[in-house]
Amino acid sequence: MVKTMKISARNQIPGTIKMIKKGPVSTEVVIAVAGGNEIVSSITTTSAEHLKLKEGSKVYAVVKASEVMVAID
């Protein structure tokens, strides 16, 4: 049902799902990535179900460049 495609989003970081917290509309997905970092995503619960996401799934955290801010200490 979900199409396979190549997307313009510049950031596609590979990782493994560590935790999923499902709400009625929104679901939080915590992805373990390289360097001991975590990336947290909030998507619709319907999306999480379409992709059959579960703990241990190999995934990519995908982010459009215009959504990334830069910070310094």
Place of tokens 């999480």: 48
Place of tokens 């459009």: 64
Taking CB under 8 A as the rule, does residue 56 contact a second copy? Answer: no
Candidates 18, 55, 56, 63: give the one binding a second copy (CB under 8 A).
63
Binding mask 25-44 toward a second copy (x if CB under 8 A, else -) reads xxxxx-x-xxxxxxxxxxxx
Q: Tell me the C-alpha distance between 14 and 20, whole Å.
A: 17
Q: Tell me the C-alpha distance between 18 and 40, whole Å.
A: 10
Task: Return residues touching a second copy (CB under 8 A).
Answer: 2-14, 21-29, 31, 33-44, 46-48, 50-51, 53, 57-73
